[in-house]
Structure 1
Amino acid sequence: MTKRFEGRVAVVTGASRGIGYFTAKALAAEGAHVIALARTVGGLEELDDEIRSEGGQATLVPVDLTDYDALDRLGAAIHERWGKLDVLIGNAGILGGLSPLGHVAPRIWDKVMAINVTANWRLIRSLDPLLRQSDAGRVLFLSSGAAHKCKAFWGPYSVSKAALEALVRTYVAETAQTRITGMLVNPGATRTAMRAEAMPGEDPQTLPHPSEVAASLLDFVAPDNTANGKLFDFPSKELRDFVQVSS
């Protein structure tokens, strides 16, 4: 039986743990060649071992997403080897801590914006020409209910996710007449390191496992996906236009 992503090339950021790890693993199991980006070399190597043990293929890219020149080189390297890109999943992000806006250190604000917003724009800038060469380019970014709830003390994260949503909405509008589709996904509260950082007293066993979210992401980046300009709210399992989502 042909696998859904046989012969397709996929970039996944934040692939060394959490949702990114399990998404990359699931894509490889379905036949994709996964280009896995993350800072943590050990986590990438573990992912590679898992993928190869199941007969899949991966290319590891240990990189800090704020190394924008490296993201430009990534596009050039993919072009040289494959000449196209079929899937881009922008999963990587940071919380930046919880603090009143007036107490946020400028370096923390800048880092959150650099990783959660600017790095994703640089990825689009670098990889858009490759996505246009695919017969079914699929772009998906992880957002959050924080983009709309704007709760006290979540300022940098909320602002960065709101900006990310505007970025993706703009890209969807610009690619409306192409074979590219763009999606946002709100994973909600998930058993990840970021969630533990935000809610240290919470029992992680009460939260969905990242692999559950990963299974949903694959549906929206599959070649036969027709959803475009939508946000999938994982907690409610609702597919919506780009509108308010749950926390």
Structure 2
Amino acid sequence: MNSAEGTTLRGKVAVITGAGRGIGRAIALAYAKAGADVVCSARSGREIDETVALITAQGGRAIAITSDVTNYESVEALFSGAVQAFDGVDIVLANAGVGTVTGTVEHSDPKRWKEVIDVNLVGAFHTARAAIPHLRRSGAGKLILMGSGLRQRPNANLSAYGCSKAGMWLLTQTLALELLDANISVNELIPGPVRTAMTDFGDKCQFNEEWLKEPEDVVPLALFLASQPDVGPSAQSFSLMRRA
């Protein structure tokens, strides 16, 4: 932790939702290795406890706070806990999400369809809304929303997921405009297909020509976005997909 790679985010506090496994866990470990204090959040306390244990084993500082992004009061409590533990918030990664296959619109279950929107889109809104006052108090900050290439490519049986990510992209751009005065940059990170539980570790990925990644392959871009200067890129989409 004393090497150059452990100084990139030194003095920063990062809050990561969906940090219990997959991409969220890989980025949490990387942010901690880069010097940040990391607040790991998810609905499963067991999974984020494991992430925190991995971070502390590598010499980093982290805490676990269970939170449900579909419940605004729960997300508010997450950020209050982060500030209480580390005296501020500088980086927020809205990574919590679900990739539920809801079937065709005609035959979908309206309840399941809405659940995807609630987690992916409303959850991102809740995360950003609860984070903003704390980022403003820090004088600058980074909001990173985890997007998807499916926001611009219609896909049968995944209408809820695609619509949730299309909405998130517009939310990203709107937040960037609204927070420009506060030096809070807001960007979208599109990882493309990754071997995680959401994709059945690659089995659900439909584009054979795409780069099928491990969660750790998303880390360099996540570090890049978190380490940009206060007046840096905002309202931008950064993608690891080969196909636009």
TM-score by length of 1: 0.88
1:1-247 aligned at under 5 Å gives the runs 1=4, 3-196=7-200, 199-200=203-204, 207-224=212-229, 226-236=232-242, 246=244
SS class of match (1:109): helix
Q: CA deviation at 1:152?
A: 1.7
Number of corresponding residues: 236
Question: Does the aligned pair in 2 maintain the 1:65–1:71 contact within 8 Å?
Answer: yes
Partners of 1:201 and 1:214 lie apart in 2 by: 20
User: Which residue identity is paired with 1:222?
Assistant: S
Q: CA deviation at 1:215?
A: 2.0
Partners of 2:68 and 2:203 lie apart in 1 by: 25
User: Which residue identity is paired with 2:239?
Assistant: D
Q: CA deviation at 1:224?
A: 2.6
Gaps of 5+ in 1: 237-244
SS class of match (2:69): coil
Question: Does the aligned pair in 1 maintain the 2:15–2:82 contact within 8 Å?
Answer: no
Q: CA deviation at 1:178?
A: 2.1
TM-score by length of 2: 0.89
Partners of 1:214 and 1:17 lie apart in 2 by: 14
Partners of 1:135 and 1:41 lie apart in 2 by: 31
Q: Deviations over 1:76-116 (max 9, x none)?
A: 33344445310000111101214101111121112111110
Question: Does the aligned pair in 2 maintain the 1:87–1:221 contact within 8 Å?
Answer: yes
Rate the CA distance shift 1:76–1:151 in 2: closer, same or farther, 3 A. same
Counterpart of 1:240 in structure 2 is: none
